[in-house]
Amino acid sequence: MMKTLLSDLRDESHDLASLIMARKDANVLSRRTQFKDWTICDILIHLHMWNEAMIRLLDDPDGFAAMATTGLQATLQGIPARKLGRDWAEQRYGERQPEAIFTDWLDFLPVLSKRYASLEPATRLPWVGPPMRAADSLIARHMETWAHGQAVYDIFGVIRKDSDRIKNIALLGIKTYGWSFKVRGKDVPKPKPCVELLAPSGAIWCWNDPQEDNFIKGSATEFCQVVTQTRNVEDTALEVRGAPAKAWMESAQCFAGKPETPPAPGLRFPLKPA
């Protein structure tokens, strides 16, 4: 299981790297995206910083705890994650960024794979939020790479060709149904909506009990875009019926941290290639 999850993370990262390297632009990493005005370099900083944290929590628990506390306090104080990342990169790389960040992000993946391949999937590990199983930690890293990568695909006007490895992200979305409400201090609506998704391969993925008046149906890619907040549900073709299903899709959040507001309708989309 761990080797498969590591392969999924590695393949997602390499696909993103290939997209970036295919651009014939010396300043490509400085391009701004539709995600909170982050540059591509900001995205890579964020991914690499927290990929490294996955090893730090194994080798230096106290150091990781301090890093997690700093990140949490910054969030509570309203300090943007982009600033936190840029401060980290400035201390680490100075004038060598952003090219050095791109290289280190890719070169670190084998290090992460080597350490995590030997862990049992159920091993409990600390994180910024509640502790997670080692397997879920890798799924979270895959989700972050896929979700932040969406902003890069969009800025280049490229429609990503997903594979069935996005089932990791869809499942994370399913598991965080309750969290999407609890993080906002709201009661969790019952029952959980039935979710029926069309996978990239053409397979059908189903979760929760069948219901005629409380369900979500449609593209697995679009469902993943909504739960990762890279698209507003109104910008998708998902069929959403029932109060619990509609409430969920309006504020779905499959990631930890403070409550985040999904992008407004029409705010995130693939740009037309120049």
Q: What is the pLDDT of residues 212-268, one digit of tens each?
A: 999 999 999 999 999 999 999 999 999 999 999 999 999 999 998 889 999 999 999
Fold of 167-251: Nonspecific Lipid-transfer Protein; Chain A (3.30.1050)
Using DSSP bridges, classify how beta strands 204-207 and 194-198 pair: parallel, antiparallel or unpaired: antiparallel
pLDDT of residue 1 exceeding 70: yes
pTM of the full structure = 0.96
- State how far the Cα of 200 lies from the Cα of 234, in Å rounded to an integer: 21
Q: What is the pLDDT of residues 173-190, one digit of tens each?
A: 999 999 999 999 999 999
- What is the distance between the terminal CA atoms of the chain, rounded to a whole angstrom? 41
What distance lies between CA 67 and its chain's CA centroid?
A: 20
Q: Which one of 1.20.58, 1.10.8, 1.10.287, 1.20.120 gives the CATH number of domain 2-160? A: 1.20.120
> Nearest Cα to 225, choosing from 35, 79, 75?
35
With CA atoms as reference, report the closest residue to 129 among 4, 259, 42, 220. Answer: 259
Q: Do the Cβ atoms of 204 and 175 come closer than 8 Å?
A: no
Q: How confident is the model at residue 91 (pLDDT cuts 50, 70, 90)?
A: very high
Residue with tokens 């941290």: 257
Average pLDDT over residues 113-121: 96
Confidence of residue 274 (pLDDT cuts 50, 70, 90): low
For the chain, domain boundaries: 2-160, 167-251
User: Which has the higher per-residue pLDDT, 3 or 69?
Assistant: 3
What pLDDT is attached to residue 272? 86
- pLDDT of 156 reads 97
